[in-house]
Amino acid sequence: MTKQEVLAEAEKMNVKYVRLCFTDIHGTIKNVEIPVNGLKDALDNKTIFDGSSIDGFARIDEADMVLYPDTRTWLLLPWENSQYGNVARIICDVFHPDGRPFEGDPRYVLKRNLKKMNAMGFHRFKIGVEPEFFLFNRTDEGQVTLDFNDHGGYFDLAPVDGAEDCRRDIMLELQKLNFCMEASHHEVSPSQHEINFEFSDALEACDQLQTFKLVVRNVAKRHGLHATFMPKPLANINGSGMHTNCSLMDKAGNNVFYDENEPYQLSKVSRQFISGLLNHARSFTAITNPIVNSYKRLLPGYEAPIYVSWSESNRTAMIRVPSTRGRGTRAEVRSVDPAANPYLAISVLLRSGLDGIENDVEPAGPVAENLYTLSREKREERGIQNLPENLKDAMKELSASTLMQETLGRHVYEKFMIAKAQEWDEYRAVISKWELDRYLKTM
């Protein structure tokens, strides 16, 4: 949409307020709400905010930031409509007052890496995400609990799946927003759900994912439930992942991952891309699995990948190549979780794969065995590494990677490392219930 089309739409749909949204380095959606009479100035890039108040953004001596709305992301928010009029949202890029893109804007980080892809002759990076989430009960007073809303299992139907109405309403709200959803279903754990996106360009996919999280949380609240994308809210059950399907397209719209004459019908480019993902997996895990809790999910026995390997069908491998060929040929990265900042996560996956292409590196053969049953010695013989076991180890791997630092840019890398060091220190200082139960009476 053009600026004039946005203004006309706002008037036609009786929009009274507009949310100017952007994302911080942690993946948290921020916004400035303006009355509709300020929309024209906003579309002329005249909205200034204090960046020093946003974690990971600007220092106090360079605090002013400017929002540049991306008119393609204009969207009415039906769940916020009221008797006074409608509310709309538009996603913004963040700039310095002198017109330079802000290096700490995650959306800019992704755009910069997409330009690198274009310079290598690829036209589009296509993404399909499969975010999982839990729906927990609230008390009558609205307080969040860890009580299951249902005790369903994989693909279960009502009445076992007690949140089916909520999940259906989420899908209906997304359809109102013209989202293209592929499927929704109950996941393995009680109260766990998954809604799959159709493939779209990387930037659009990340924008949609941020909006998706807003929709899920708001619809859940309307049903008296709490939706969480925390990777592992409860022990002894499967956690929530966000499998991320990737493919590269050329200017003609062809999927360059497919070649019917190559082994597994995977082109040399696709195999190089997979090799890049494997080679940099340990260094990008801090970005794709960015919180302390992420590593409670990455444990053997809970369907989460913990070994750096690839396979055509083996779901214990970190990267799976689904059986679909032709336009649907893709690499599914199974380690990513929904706590990740999507713009940064997609950036590190893309640059890792491109690095494999640039260096003409092909992976070892696919792994068919159940990796959970192989001994450490057997895995080491085959060169299969573990993913980092905790956030601190992941940060060490990230700090050792020149490619990842270049991918993120100096500003995001430094601010991210500071924030995660603080998170790890806070975590180390907490005395858990497990420690008290284990040691208090016996020591």
Q: For 30-89, write each residue's pLDDT tens digit.
A: 999 999 999 999 999 999 988 877 776 765 555 789 999 999 999 999 888 777 899 999
Instruction: Give residue-wise pLDDT tens across range 387-416.
Output: 999 999 999 999 999 999 999 999 999 999
- Per-residue pLDDT, averaged over 248-263, amounts to 94
Q: Residue 190 above 90 pLDDT?
A: no
More confident residue, 60 or 171: 171
| Domains, the chain, ordered by start | 3-102 (3.10.20.70), 112-405+416-434 (3.30.590.10)
Q: Is the link from the previous residue into 363 a cis peptide, with omega within 30 of 0?
A: no
Tell me what pLDDT residue 390 has.
97
pLDDT tier at 373, thresholds 50, 70, 90: confident
72 is catalytic: no
Q: Percent helix, strand, coil in the chain (nearest 5)?
A: 40, 25, 35
Which position among 334, 337, 355, 379 bears the catalytic label?
A: 334
Mean pLDDT of the chain: 91
Q: Is 130 considered catalytic here?
A: yes
pTM above 0.85, yes or no: yes
If pLDDT is split at 50, 70 and 90, which confidence band does 153 have? low
Q: How confident is the model at residue 106 (pLDDT cuts 50, 70, 90)?
A: very high
Q: Which of 138, 217, 315, 325 is catalytic?
A: 315
Q: pLDDT tens digit string along 199-219?
A: 899 999 999 999 999 999 999
Q: Say whether pLDDT at 162 is over 60.
A: no
pLDDT tops 70 at residue 241: yes
Cα 65 to chain centroid distance, Å, stands at: 25
pLDDT average, residue stretch 376-385? 84
Amino acid 148: pLDDT? 86
State yes or no: is 194 an active-site residue: yes
Note if 315 is an active site residue: yes
- DSSP 3-state of 359: coil
* Confidence band, pLDDT 50/70/90 cuts, at residue 384: confident
The active-site residue, picked from 24, 161, 259, 332, is 332
Q: Tell me what pLDDT residue 336 has.
A: 97
Evaluate whether 399 touches 285 at the Cβ level (below 8 Å): no
For this structure, is 187 an active site residue?
Answer: yes
- Of the candidates 210, 178, 180, 173, the residue with the CA atom closest to the CA atom of residue 80: 173
Confidence (pLDDT) at 23: 96
Q: Which CA distances in Å does 376 have to 363, 385, 391?
A: 20, 9, 22
Catalytic residue among 105, 150, 164, 187: 187
> Choosing from 5, 11, 44, 50, which is the catalytic residue?
50
pLDDT at 316: 81
Higher pLDDT, 230 or 367: 230
Mean pLDDT of 8-17: 95
